Amino acid sequence: MTVVTEIESEVRSYCRIWPTVFSAAQGSRLTDESGREYLDFFSGAGALNYGHNHPHLKAALLDYLEQDAVVHSLDMSTTAKRRFLERFQEVVLEPRSLDYRVQFPGPTGTNAVEAALKLARKVTGREQAISFTNAFHGMTLGALAVTGNSMKRSGAGVPLGHASVMPYCEYMEDGDTLDYLELILADSGSGVDEPAAVIVETTQGEGGLKTASDTWLQRLAGICREHGMLLIVDDIQMGCGRTGPFFSFERAGIVPDLVCLSKSLSGYGLPMAVTLIRPDLDVWEPGEHNGTFRGFNPAFVTATAALDLWEGTDLPAEVDAKAETIERVLLGMIATGADGADTRGRGLAQGLVFDDPELTSRVVAEAFDRGLIIETSGPLGEVAKLMPPIVISDADLEEGLAIFADAVSAAVAWAGK
Ligand SMILES: Cc1ncc(COP(=O)(O)O)c(C=O)c1O
């Protein structure tokens, strides 16, 4: 670790929480260079929904590389890009009766968000974006302006503008928070300029696993239509099956104007992002938004192979069943010792929230000592967050949950002493 602590910038974070050097990974397990195995309930912050080195994706990738096929291509046409677009249409869009143009922005989530915000401003001729309390949309300036976390925001070093924050679902204990949004939009004296767009996560992956109800999302979609604001769903962390369906908003039956996807889209941890655009909103000039790494063909290849996993299987039902197991175990833990904790999240993004964030950090450390990788979520890191691969076996899920329960007991005992 010495070279890491001496040479890598102070900005590093995960290597501080998990102080070991990882050298191999397969499925839901990581191995460090001493040979110690860890169950991975972090999944690359949602970039590894299909686990590490999935054999079907790996075979497609190795086969592609063996052929000396094109690796880098900006947005030139390649066989890999064409195949991805064909399969995305066939497997994802058509069966859901969704009609979107696919934009490849730069390869990370924040690029997909920047593209969506820029396009919404261009289409509507308005500047403001509405975001929600505890949202997380990325680190570049436009995405940071619609992100809630004060520590991340302060890193910008310049004012973050052209965005107004509204209360997320159930932010206040009483009432529907969308009453407030409607009030503000209807009041020409509210001080909020007519917004170009509303950007929302269905479950807040970084902001504490708070989840918007289906009825809240439906009402939000209606308010957007009424006020000529584009609805952007940031499905970067909750998409690609993390909460069951391919798109996390499917259950609410809403159709966003713009959708941001990244993280598990390539399925292999390779960088790739898309911004999906309602066709009539695709008013970009050629090259008006670009980026050198838009066309990373190995990611197109693994993304195409990952779509095969959605055919002939019922991944949403599998996720639902595993989610029920997690919920049952978490509720059992609350009933038998983790007093004062509460459950958060949905699907395979669930966790326990504790009053004391120090206790949550302790849970993460105790889990690591016992061979389980988990991280925290929430403005104070108060939520212990469980995000196993969505294809995890029942045996690995049970094993990881048992370790988690032990880690919570140990942390609770530590806090009580
Ligand atoms: C919901 C959401 N949006 C955007 C991002 C930013 O993605 P990236 O880190 O790839 O830029 C993240 C990353 O955690 C995210 O969870």
Burial class (CB in 10 A: 0-12, 13-18, 19+), 416: exposed
pLDDT at 293: 96
Residues 380, 238: Cα–Cα separation, whole Å: 21
Q: If you measure from the C-alpha of residue 109 to the centroid of ligand 1, how many angstroms do you get, rounded to a whole number?
A: 5
Residues 35, 38: Cα–Cα separation, whole Å: 10
| Apex 272 CA angle, 22 and 289, nearest 5 | 140
User: 417 pLDDT band (50/70/90 cuts)?
Assistant: low
Q: Is the CB of 149 under 6 A from ligand 1?
A: no
pLDDT at 339: 73
Using one digit for the tens of pLDDT, what is the confidence trace for 326-362?
999 999 999 887 778 999 999 999 999 999 999 999 9
In ligand 1, the atom with minimum distance to the C-alpha of 273 is: 10
Residues 352, 344: Cα–Cα separation, whole Å: 6
pLDDT at 337: 78
Q: Is the CB of 113 under 6 A from ligand 1?
A: yes
Using one digit for the tens of pLDDT, what is the confidence trace for 78-99?
999 999 999 999 999 999 999 9
Of 114-123, 163-172, 330-339, 383-392, the range with the lowest mean pLDDT is 330-339
Contact 322, 397 (CB under 8 A): yes
Contact 375, 385 (CB under 8 A): yes
Which DSSP letter does residue 343 get?
E
Q: If you measure from the C-alpha of residue 138 to the centroid of ligand 1, how many angstroms do you get, rounded to a whole number?
A: 5
Q: If you measure from the C-alpha of residue 417 to the centroid of ligand 1, how many angstroms do you get, rounded to a whole number?
A: 38
Q: What value does the mean pLDDT take over residues 281-295?
A: 97
pLDDT at 233: 99
Q: Is the CB of 396 under 6 A from ligand 1?
A: no
- Give every strand in the sheet of 195-200, ordered side by side: 101-103, 274-277, 258-261, 230-234, 195-200, 128-132, 163-166
What is the Cα 412 distance to its own chain's centre? 29
The full 3-state SS of 78-105, as one line of letters, equals CHHHHHHHHHHHHHHHHHHCCCCEEECC
Res 132 pLDDT > 90: yes
pTM of the model: 0.98
Res 167 pLDDT > 90: yes
β-pair partners for 99: none
Return the closest-CA partner of residue 22 out of 397, 371, 262, 362. 371
Q: Is the CB of 262 under 6 A from ligand 1?
A: yes
Q: What value does the mean pLDDT take over residues 48-57?
A: 98
Tell me if residue 245 falls in helix, strand or coil: coil
Q: If you measure from the C-alpha of residue 181 to the centroid of ligand 1, how many angstroms do you get, rounded to a whole number?
A: 25
Q: Is the CB of 234 under 6 A from ligand 1?
A: yes
Out of 209, 234, 236, 249, mutate this one to test ligand 1's pocket (max ligand atoms within 8 Å of CB): namely 236
pLDDT at 1: 76
Out of 140, 232, 240, 262, mutate this one to test ligand 1's pocket (max ligand atoms within 8 Å of CB): namely 262
Q: What value does the mean pLDDT take over residues 250-257?
A: 98
User: 396 pLDDT band (50/70/90 cuts)?
Assistant: very high
Residues 155, 138: Cα–Cα separation, whole Å: 12
Res 299 pLDDT > 90: yes
Out of 139, 263, 265, 383, mutate this one to test ligand 1's pocket (max ligand atoms within 8 Å of CB): namely 263
Alpha helix stretches (DSSP H) within 125-176: 141-145, 150-154
Out of 42, 147, 237, mutate this one to test ligand 1's pocket (max ligand atoms within 8 Å of CB): namely 237
Percentage of the chain exceeding pLDDT 70: 100
Contact 378, 208 (CB under 8 A): yes
Q: If you measure from the C-alpha of residue 332 to the centroid of ligand 1, how many angstroms do you get, rounded to a whole number?
A: 31
Return the closest-CA partner of residue 161 out of 204, 131, 125. 131
pLDDT at 164: 97
> Please, how many CA atoms are within 13 Å of residue 271, restricted to the half-sphere of its CB?
15
The continuous run of DSSP H or E covering 322 comes out as helix 315-335
Q: If you measure from the C-alpha of residue 412 to the centroid of ligand 1, how many angstroms do you get, rounded to a whole number?
A: 31
Amino acid letter, residue 242: R
Q: How many other CB atoms are there within 10 angstroms of residue 208's CB atom?
A: 26
Q: Is the CB of 138 under 6 A from ligand 1?
A: yes
Return the closest-CA partner of residue 276 out of 113, 97, 137, 108. 113
Q: Whose CA is nearest to atom 8 of ligand 1?
A: 109
Q: If you measure from the C-alpha of residue 165 to the centroid of ligand 1, how many angstroms do you get, rounded to a whole number?
A: 18
With a CB cutoff of 8 Å and minimum separation 6, the contacts of 97 are: none
Tell me if residue 390 falls in helix, strand or coil: coil
Return the closest-CA partner of residue 80 out of 272, 305, 297, 294. 297
Mean pLDDT (the chain, rounded): 97
The answer for 224, left when phi > 0, alpha when psi is -120 to 50, beta otherwise, is: alpha
